[in-house]
Structure 1
Amino acid sequence: MRHACRSVAFRRAPAPVFQPLLPDDPDEVAGYRLFARLGAGGMGRVYLSYTPGGRPVALKVVRPEFAEDSEFRRRFSQEVANAQRIHGLYTAQVIDSGTAADAPWLVTAYVPGPSLQQVVREHGPLPVRTVLLLLGGIAEALQAIHSVSVVHRDLKPANVLVAADGPRVIDFGIARAADATALTGTGYRIGSPAFMAPEQAQGGAITPATDVFALGALAAYVASGVPPFGEGPETAVLYRVVHEQPDLAGVPAELRELLLRCLAKSPEERPKPAEIIEVAREHPAVGGQLRFADNWLPLPVSTEITRRSDLPRTPPRPAPAVPSAPPVPSAPPVPAMAPPTVPVTVVEPPSGAVLPPQGAEAFTAPLPPPQPTVQLPAPAVALAPAPAPAGKRRGVSWRTLLTVALVMALGGALVGVLLSRGDAGPKTGSSSGNSGSGQQQAVDAPTTPGADDSPVTAPTGPDSTDTPGGGVSATGGPTGWTPLVSKVELDIPAAEYSSEAYRVDLTAGKLIAPGTNGKWVLGLHNTGGAGGSRANTFVSDGDDDSDFAVITDSSVTPGQCNTALDTHPDSDLTFGHAGAGRLLCVRDRSTHDIAIAAIEVADEQTGEVKLSVSTWQGGS
C-alpha cells in the first residue's frame, strides 16, 4: 500500500493548465486560432481554441513522423470517421477534423476537468458513491461507443476526464491509429497493460466485453489507488492479467462483487454496460438515482475543475501593431548624384564601456536598412559630421539624413559583432551549425527563479555536436521545481550490459554499479524471448515507482513533461519507442520529482545506452 502513504508535504503547486505557445507552435490551424497549449504526448500536441460561435475546443495536431506514414493516415481517417458517429453525453464529441492536411488534426469538445489518473495521483482514492457514479457514467459512454460498432480498446484513467456534470471518455482517433501504426508490426498489443483484457493481451478477438474488463480495472484503481494487477514491467503485468486473479484488497467491500464480475477472465462472464448501470443505481450509497449533483466529487477535485474553467479569451501572441511614422518635414528633392564621402575616424572603446544590447530601440521612426556593400571597420567608429554650408537656414539637409542612416547601419551591425565577440568563449551544448538560431539561443539562455520552464532538447543526430539535454541551467530552475542535476552525460556501454548492468541514479546524476541500491534509479531490462533475442526496456527499479512519457518533440520543459505524464503516460518503454533522438520524462510517484533523459543512443541489439539526464525536485 505504498500509495496510501503519500504525504502532502511533497505536493507541489498545481501546474498551469493553459501553457503559453512555444516558438514552433502555429498561431492557427485550419482557421482555428490557438490560445494556449493543453499538453503534448506521444502522438501529437493539444491546444485550446474556440469555435466561431465561441465554444472552447481541444485541437490535437499529429506529429510529423506520423503524418508522413501513409498507413497512419489511412487508419486515422477510419478512426475519425468512427468517432464522429458517437454522440454520447459522456464522451468528448468529435467536432471537426483534417485527415488530409499536411499535419492531420482533430477537434473535440473541451472538458474543463482533470483526468482520473491526475485525480487519484493528487488526491488519492475516491469515495464509494463517487466510484459508483463514475461506473454508471462511463458504462453509458460505452453504450454509445458500442452502439456504432466501435470498441475503445484503451479505456484507462488517463482517458477519462472528470467534469462537474460527470465523466467524459476521450482519446478517439489519433491514439489508436498511432498505436496501431507504430506497434502492431512489432508484436505489441494496442492498449495499456494494467487495464488490458486477457484476450487483448493474447491477441484474441476484441469485443465490447474488452472495454468492460478495462472499466473494472479502472474502477478498482480509482477506488483503491493501485491497479488490480499491480505495477512493474509490462511482461509481468500482462502475465498477471492473463493468469492471476485481481488483487482487490484495497477496494471497499461493497464494490468488490461487481468489479470481480467485470474482471472475469472469460468475456462471456462479464456484465453488459446496461447491467453495470443498473447495479450502480440500486446501490444503497447512491440511493436509487445516478445524479451528478454539486457534491458528487470531493471538494479538492471540484476546486480543480473550477480552475480549469477559467479559460483564456485573449490570444497569447497578438499580431504586432505596425507603428505609424511621424510626419517628415518637407525637404528639397534629393539630387541624382553620388553620395558624398564621409570621413571615418576609428576609435577604440574605453575600457569597461558598456555597449547597448543588440536591437535596442534608439529612434521611433523607421530607419533605412543597412547597405550590404558597407565594409565593417574596426570595433567602433565615430563619424565626423559634415560642416553646415554657410548662409543656409537651419533645418535637415539630405546630407545630414544620409549621415544618420550610415551611422545607424554601421553602428547596429557593429554592436552585433562586438556582442558576438564577447560571447565567443566555449559554450556547452551548442553546435557551430546552429549557434545563430533563435531556438538555440532560447535553449542556451540561463534560467532564473520564477522564469518559465527551461527546455531540454533532444539530440539532433549522430553527427551533431549538441549536448543532449542542453539548455538546462544548473543554478536556476522553472517555477515549482528546484534543479538537482543539469545535463549530466552518462554512458552504459554494451560490454557491461546484462541483468546486472550499470544503472542511472536520477537523484545523483551518476551511474551506479551492479548490486548498488539507489533511491530513484533508471535501469535496463531485457525482456527478450528464446534464442537470445533482445527487447531492451527502460525501467525504474528504485524504492518508489515512477510514471513515464516518451516525447518526440525536439525540446520539452519540466512543466510540459508533467502534463504529458498526466495526460499521455507511456507503458511502451522499449528501445524501439523510447529510442535515440527522443526524450524520456520520468516522475517519482511519491516525491513528484521530474527527470528528463535525452537519449542519444539506445542500441536494441547490444544494450548500449548514451543519454543526458536533468532532474528537478518537486516543489511544495
Structure 2
Amino acid sequence: MSGLGTDGGLRPLDSGDPRTVAGYRLAARLGSGGMGTVYLSYTPGGHPIALKTVRPELSEDAEFRRRFRQEVRAAQRVQGLYTAPVIDYDTEGARPWLATAYVAGPALASAVAEHGPLPLPSILLLLAGTAEALSVIHGAGIVHRDLKPSNVLLAADGPRVIDFGIARAADATALTGTGIAVGTPAFMSPEQAAGRPVTPASDVFALGQTAVFAARGQGAYGDGPSHAVLYRIVHEEPDLAGLPAELAFVARCLAKDPAARPTPAEVVALCQEASPAPLRQSGSWLPKALTAQITQRASASAALAAAPTAAPATVPPTAPVTRLDAPAPAPVPPGPAQGTPVHAAPTATAGPAVPLPAQPPHGPLYQHPAPPRPYPPYVQPYAWQPPKPKRSVGRKIAVGAAITVALLWGAGCVSVLSHLGDTSDDGSSRTSSSASGKHRPDPKPVSFKGINIPKGYWVRFADSPPKPVDEQNTSNASFGKDADFYYDDDPYYSDDQTPVVGTAGDKVVLLDNAEHGSLATCRKVTRYADNIHLSQLSAGSQICVHTVSGHIGLVTYRGRAGRDSPSDYITVDLTVWRNAEPASGDEG
C-alpha cells in the first residue's frame, strides 16, 4: 500500500497486530511506546484518526485503569487549535484504547534528528503554538507531565501537543516493577525529578527544554545516564550556549523555582516580542524538507483510506447508546434471550484480515451538548445473539443443575445442624441468618474521635484505631492503594486550588444539612464525587465514604490546622461499618 515503509511515516501491521478495534479498521502502524501501540485508522466518514491500544500488562492493573479512565475523561475537555482532541475511547473493555485526531506530520524529535535544528522563525512559532496548547490544557484542569519533543507533532498549520495527562495513568505503585518511567528524565522539571508535586509550571520547564532541543538538537542539561541528567536538572544551571539571542527568555522557563517561570500566556507574548515580524501561521512555517515530508504523509494516509477493504463490523442502529462520561456498566454475560443487547468489550482480532459482515452505518461519534461542559463522544455497544445450544449440551446442563441443587440442599442441612444450640452474647438461643432466610444483619459501627490526618497521608478503616500512613513512592495520597480516606492537594489541577479529601475508590458524598449521617443514609445517597475540596467543608460537615474493600465510613469534618501550626492537617471524627457492602469487583 502506498506510503507504507517509506517517508509516509506509516508502517505495515505486524502479524500480531489486531486488524480491527471496536469496529475501527486499522490501516497501519504509527508507532509504539511504554503505554502501547498507535495505529492509523479512520472514522466511518473517512477522516483519519490515531488509535492507541494499551499494553496488556497495563490493562490488567486496576490502579492503571482507574487513572486511565480519569485522565481520558479529563482530556476530553481539551479543545484547542494546537492539540489533538480525543475522538473516541473505551476504558472498560479487556484492552483499553483511545482515539485522537491524526496529525500528518513527524514528531519534533524525529524531525530534528533527520533534518537538524529548526530556524529561529520556526522555533518561535513552535514555542508560541505549544504554549497556547498548554494554556488550553491547564485551563481544562490537566497538567501534561510529559511534554517532550516526541509529544509535539509538526503539522502543516502549526504544532500539535499530544498525550496530555495520559502519562499520569502509568504513575502507579503497582507498576514500579514494569520498567515504565513516568515522564522523560531529560525533560522533567526539578520538582518532578525530586518527587515533589507537579503543577502547570512544571510543563513550562519542559517547554523550555523543548525549545533548546529544537534550536540545538540537544537539551539544556546534556545527555548521559538518566540519574546524571536528573542530578544536573536539580542542582546545576542549564547550558544555553549557542542559543540565539532572541531566545534568551527561555532561561526563565528553566528557573529552578516554579514561581519564577513565566506562564504559557507570557511565553506567547515573549515569542511575539522576540519575532522581527508578527507571528502568523500562514503558509509554510517549516523548512521545505519538512513541509514536503508532511505532504507525503498526508498523501499516504489518503491512499490507505481509498484502498479497497472489507467493511468493518459496525453497530446495529437499535443498540442502546452508552454515555461514556458516566461510569460504564459492568460487562453483562450473554443472556438466554436471543437478541438481548449487552455492553461488549472492543473487538480486537489478530491475524490476517477477515471479511466482516456488512452492517448498518456506525453510530455518531460526536454529540456536542451546550457549553460550558462538553460531554464525551457517544458510541453504541454491540448486540450479541447467542447460538442455539445443541440438545446434548442441554442434557449436560440439566444433569449439572440437578447435582448442584442436591449439593446445595445437603450443605443447607449441614449449616442448620451446625448452628443448632448456638447462643448469642446474652445466652439466648439463635438461628443463623442463612438458615432462617433472613438478611445478614448490618455490621456494628465502630467510632473514633479526633483523628488528625496530615496532608499527604490517609487512614485505613480496618485499623483500630486508624493511624495516618503514607507511601514514599506515591506522588499523591489519593493514589495510595489502601487509602480509605485521604487528605492531600488536588491530584488533578483545577480552578479550586484548595486541598481535597477523598478515597481511593473515588466514591464520596457530601451530605446536605437535612441528611442524617447513618449507614442507611450512606447506602441510599449515590451522588458520588471523586473528591471534595476543603472549600466546600465547614465544621460539622459529614461525608459518606465507600471504600474499595467494602467498608462504609461516615466522616465528620472538625477543622484544619491553623496557619501558625508547623503541620498542615485536618481533624475528623470517624464512624466505620466494616464489610458493609461487597468489595469492588466482587459479584456480591
User: Under a length normalisation based on structure 1, what TM-score does the superposition of the two structures give?
Assistant: 0.47
**Greater Rg over alpha carbons, structure:** 1
